[in-house]
Structure 1
Amino acid sequence: MNLEIELSTNYNSVIDHVRNTRNVVQASGQSLIIIQNGKIVTEHYEGHHSNIRNAKSISMDSLFHIASVRKSYTGFCVAWAIYNGHINSIDDPVLKYLPELNEETLKGITLRHFLTHTHGLRTNPDGNLFNYFHAGERWDYRDENIRMLAEIIRRTTGKTVAKIASEEIFVPLGFKKAGWYTEPSDDMVLTIFEPDGNTSFETRNSADGDRPNMFSTARELAYWGYLHLNNGKIGDEQIVNSEILKMATTMQSPKLLGEESPKNGFLWQVQMDPTKNSEIGLNVPKGSFQILGICNQTLLVMPEFNLVAVRLLNRLGNPPGFNYLEEVKSFGDCVTEASTKLLVKI
């Protein structure tokens, strides 16, 4: 797919915000794309693929490691499996699909808990799961749930996360670059661990979608967000049933979850009434949804402004005193402020 490009200066403040974050965390490159009202209104690339001398410049072909942003595809696959009858309900117990797991540890944990980061599982130094808290009583962002969800998808559908994503999303939308990579590519932006130290391509041995080795260009990631914003429709064609995307991006967190906890759809964080520990800015409109990666990668969808914003950076780790949570919130608030000013001007 290719949307019309009509660049404007309305979101220059957001470009400045991303640049400031990049300078503070000492990333080597940045990408920013904003889609509004069906057009690309901001598309900005700056910096290089690494701090190595003569590294490639960031461009529209640059592949960023998107880390946990990939979980939006995992959530989609669960919703797709439910819609197509492979999974009965997100309130099914995990043990129904993974009966070989420890019954005492997994007892009472459902797919809903996995999808909303409320499962309470952690891993001890010996590599064994244990219950850090009872499922549903708290929110705790962990990765123990993601590989298990990927395995549940494989067992129930007969397809991997990557295969479903390819068949249902990548091919219909004409994506050429997004995917799970097992080998380095010349277009990859390296993940920077220290500004003057180690870098990595962050690839893994598996291309099944069960590991954190997904890369995407900023534009293809923005188009993924746009598919959600547009309820699964591109032009006159319904690419994905709107009910699948609605399921994934509306609040699914347990009802008894504390008021201060973030609220989730299928791994997306959803803006309800703003909460203290939410990763979405306080001023971001209700009904927006967002998913993040550890290197400050952000995919934010704001239906109230008919807008998708994607920013990609490549620094893993934060300098002393840097408040990741507040910075993420400030990005969403910056986009909101610029959008509000634009509405007033119009």
Structure 2
Amino acid sequence: MSEPYQVLNDYVYQVQQEIGVTAAAVYLIQNDVVVNEGYSGRQGADTTFRAVDAQTRFNVASIRKTYLGLAISLLMEDGRILSVDDEIGHYLDEFSETAEGVKLRHLLTHTHGLMERDGQLIREFEPGCGWAYRNTGIRMLTLLVVRLTGQTLSSFLKERVFDPYGLRETGWETDYSEELIYNYYSDPHLWTGAHDSDAGDQSNLFVSTRDLARWGHLHLRKGSLDGRGLIPASVFERVVTRHTPDTVPWDEPRNGFIWWLQHDTPQNQLGERLPDGSYLILGVTGCVCIVAPEYDAVIVRMYNQLSNPEGYNYLDDIRTFGNLAADLLKVGR
């Protein structure tokens, strides 16, 4: 733990107590150096559980969707996807009618207007005319990766990204091991849903704090590792470029390939003191990864959150966390 960052660590600990989570971590990289790293609590609710440390792997929930976004960008780089403006039905025939007019752009930016009701695909609004956070589009994109590669999403990413970049503490897990915060899977009201598949099609991606920071740093450095570009920079540039259609109302979020981009909107998750060009992804378990290129920095916070207690506002929390980090990183840039 670095002394200048004590105010940030204290805030993370304060919220940990307020929302009743057993585990927390914070990790900051600036100018390619780890400037702050801290762990708090245990992986479960009593002293029999393992203390949280650098090896602890958290369920990052919806953060997993940025890994899917990178897979789509890789397939574009490979030429297996021709354009972000191709309709999903061009690749998946079963959606050619029910998702007519829905482009990959819409699926990647939550602007597709599709939702599922009683097992049927229906339209909530016309593609590109609104924004709604639905997993319908995520399932379509996951199926697209499988159809185009003949691999599961997890095996494709392991081969193309995780193994080359040494992300050994990242993966979709179905079985207990001591490094995983896995004890809450007995909860019948589990937020993250099913966890019996390691194919990458469920919300059971477990990542260590430092590996999630490496994920953000990989984007910050556009795929460069020790000066070597194992994946073309364009793959990473694509995923954090705005792809939300101009037809979406101005006060709705703006997204790259899943990533939230800094934008003045009531739903924005990035604190207003994070500079333009920053981007973020947040999971329902309280884990977050923020990349702030202007400050040459990556900001990660981890929780094992399972509920929102009365009076807790997650948007206020995540914005405050981002703003505190931004204030500290501004000094160190």
TM class by smaller structure: over 0.9
User: Which of 296, 307, 310 is equivalent to 1:317?
Assistant: 307
Aligned-partner SS, 2:94? coil
Q: Which residue of 2 aligns with 1:250?
A: 241
TM-score, structure 1 length as denominator? Answer: 0.91
Q: Which residue of 1 aligns with 2:319?
A: 329
User: Which of 82, 105, 117 is equivalent to 1:112?
Assistant: 105
* 1:266-285 matches, cutoff 5 A: 266-271=257-262, 273-285=263-275
Is 1:54 the counterpart of 2:48? The answer is yes
User: Which of 136, 148, 155 is equivalent to 1:156?
Assistant: 148
After superposition, the Cα gap between the structure-2 partners of 1:257 and 1:200, relative to the gap in structure 1 and judged at 3 Å, is: closer
Q: Is the 8 A contact 2:194 2:202 kept in 1?
A: no
Is 1:240 the counterpart of 2:234? The answer is no
Inter-partner Cα distance in structure 1 for 2:254 and 2:280 = 11
Q: Which residue of 2 aligns with 1:230?
A: 221
Q: Is the 8 A contact 1:189 1:201 kept in 2?
A: no
In structure 2, stretches of 5+ residues that fail to align are: none
Is 1:141 the counterpart of 2:133? The answer is yes
Alpha-carbon displacement from aligned partner over 1:273-310 (angstroms, at most 9, x marks no partner): 42222111111110011111001110000001110011
Inter-partner Cα distance in structure 1 for 2:287 and 2:173 = 18
Aligned-partner SS, 2:163? helix
Q: Is the 8 A contact 2:24 2:304 kept in 1?
A: yes
Q: Which residue of 2 aligns with 1:218?
A: 209
Give the drift of 1:80. Answer: 0.3
User: Which of 120, 141, 145 is equivalent to 1:128?
Assistant: 120
User: Which of 77, 84, 88 is equivalent to 2:71?
Assistant: 77
- Report the residue type matching 2:110 in the other structure: H
Aligned-partner SS, 1:100? helix
Q: Is the 8 A contact 2:101 2:127 kept in 1?
A: yes
Aligned-partner SS, 1:172? coil
Inter-partner Cα distance in structure 2 for 1:166 and 1:152 = 17
Inter-partner Cα distance in structure 2 for 1:197 and 1:56 = 23
Inter-partner Cα distance in structure 2 for 1:155 and 1:197 = 33
Q: Which residue of 1 aligns with 2:62?
A: 68
Q: Is the 8 A contact 1:10 1:342 kept in 2?
A: no
Inter-partner Cα distance in structure 2 for 1:173 and 1:182 = 23
User: Which of 156, 176, 190 is equivalent to 1:184?
Assistant: 176
In structure 1, stretches of 5+ residues that fail to align are: 1-6
Inter-partner Cα distance in structure 2 for 1:211 and 1:176 = 19
Q: Is the 8 A contact 1:191 1:202 kept in 2?
A: no
Aligned-partner SS, 2:110? coil
User: Which of 257, 278, 283 is equivalent to 1:288?
Assistant: 278
Which region of structure 1 is more displaced relative to structure 2, 156-165 or 146-155?
A: 156-165
- Report the residue type matching 1:236 in the other structure: G
Aligned-partner SS, 1:287? coil
TM-score, structure 2 length as denominator? Answer: 0.94
Inter-partner Cα distance in structure 2 for 1:109 and 1:331 = 35
User: Which of 295, 298, 305 is equivalent to 1:308?
Assistant: 298
Which region of structure 1 is more displaced relative to structure 2, 106-115 or 128-137?
A: 128-137
Aligned residues: 333
Aligned-partner SS, 2:141? helix
Q: Is the 8 A contact 1:93 1:111 kept in 2?
A: yes
After superposition, the Cα gap between the structure-2 partners of 1:59 and 1:202, relative to the gap in structure 1 and judged at 3 Å, is: farther
Give the drift of 1:112. Answer: 0.5
Inter-partner Cα distance in structure 2 for 1:316 and 1:151 = 28
User: Which of 253, 256, 259 is equivalent to 1:262?
Assistant: 253
Inter-partner Cα distance in structure 1 for 2:96 and 2:38 = 49
After superposition, the Cα gap between the structure-2 partners of 1:203 and 1:191, relative to the gap in structure 1 and judged at 3 Å, is: farther
Give the drift of 1:226. Answer: 0.6
- Report the residue type matching 2:291 in the other structure: V
Over the matched positions of the two proteins, sequence identity in percent amounts to 33
